[in-house]
Structure 1
């Protein structure tokens, strides 16, 4: 027999599949703090934890129609587990790369090499930003380059804080994909 909590989750999931924003917000408010706390415990980094949780909820919204979820908390915490594993895996790869770099380049070579890489990376980021919609570009630049808070951006652009977070997350995803595709191409 299903518990009242389980039935409530199932009702919210059905509404979510139909694109109901209120159902999505209820799910977000019911689970986001717990997920954030769990993510923070595993990563030790508040910003990383927030990004992971935000990406889980964005994915939930984007894939709402195709998802077949029997246990909403199980699904969300399972997604968190895999996101944390992927984050740790990327850190391990980054550390291995840095170790390789330090073993294979002298300090002077490394300084020059780092300057070239930084310039190339800056150019790639600028190119990927220019491929984004204008509003998304503006939100990202205000957030990351001018260090404005989500609330300040929301007020100045007259959009919701959730919209600001969405634009930032989309920017980061697109920039990562752009850079990844560039390096895969090389």
Structure 2
């Protein structure tokens, strides 16, 4: 790295904060291939790697006004590391869920009534989630479906950890009430 490169990086970041799309494009073209290569090495899947890298750059643009970045390369590769960890974590949870499903609901013992009840409950929960305010829905989905920590959610959504905990508590309470009211009605 030449002495001018950190200065160029700082200049690009300052322009990015001002909404300069050309600075954003320069950052993208300077780092996207390296990030894609690193993501592919970690995931072994080109599509997943592309998605993770794309999400990093989308987040960079969306949060450009509030980000405090001292080292652009370190920031981008740190964001990639967290994205890969979250992706692997979600795969592990999905695999555990699938294993649980296989053990609990073997094909020989599944009856139509149980499948219908499970589908109905899933639909009720989804309707309950959809009845929540938009920000609360987003926090709930990140917490429960993408298995992100309170700290990760607070960073991603630019909220305090207390606010994230409030949204999670509020969403769980409202969804429980929604399910309870649905079953009382029927």
Q: TM-score, normalised by structure 2?
A: 0.62
Distance change (3 Å), C-alpha of 1:111 and 1:41: farther
1:75 positional shift: 0.2
**Cα distance in structure 1, aligned partners of 2:94 and 2:8:** 42
Q: Secondary structure at the match of 1:10?
A: helix
Distance change (3 Å), C-alpha of 1:65 and 1:110: farther
| Residue 34 (str. 1) matches residue 34 (str. 2) | yes
Q: Secondary structure at the match of 1:86?
A: helix
What corresponds to 1:4 in structure 2? 4
1:101 positional shift: 1.0
- The correspondence of residues 103-182 of structure 1 with structure 2, limited to 5 A, is 103-110=103-110, 117=119, 180=145
| Unaligned residue ranges in structure 2 (runs of 5+) | 131-137, 146-167, 177-186
97-106 or 19-28, larger mean C-alpha shift: 97-106
What corresponds to 1:138 in structure 2? none
1:106 positional shift: 2.2
**Cα distance in structure 2, aligned partners of 1:63 and 1:83:** 16
* Paired residue total: 141
Task: Flag the structure with larger Rg.
Answer: 2
What corresponds to 1:97 in structure 2? 97
What corresponds to 2:71 in structure 1? 71
- The correspondence of residues 8-19 of structure 1 with structure 2, limited to 5 A, is 8-19=8-19
- The correspondence of residues 41-60 of structure 1 with structure 2, limited to 5 A, is 41-60=41-60
| Unaligned residue ranges in structure 1 (runs of 5+) | 129-172
Distance change (3 Å), C-alpha of 1:94 and 1:64: same
**Cα distance in structure 2, aligned partners of 1:16 and 1:114:** 51
21-30 or 104-113, larger mean C-alpha shift: 104-113
Runs (4+) of structure 1 exceeding 6 A deviation are 113-116
**Cα distance in structure 2, aligned partners of 1:110 and 1:49:** 37
CA RMSD of aligned residues (A): 3.5
Q: TM-score, normalised by structure 1?
A: 0.62
**Cα distance in structure 2, aligned partners of 1:86 and 1:49:** 13
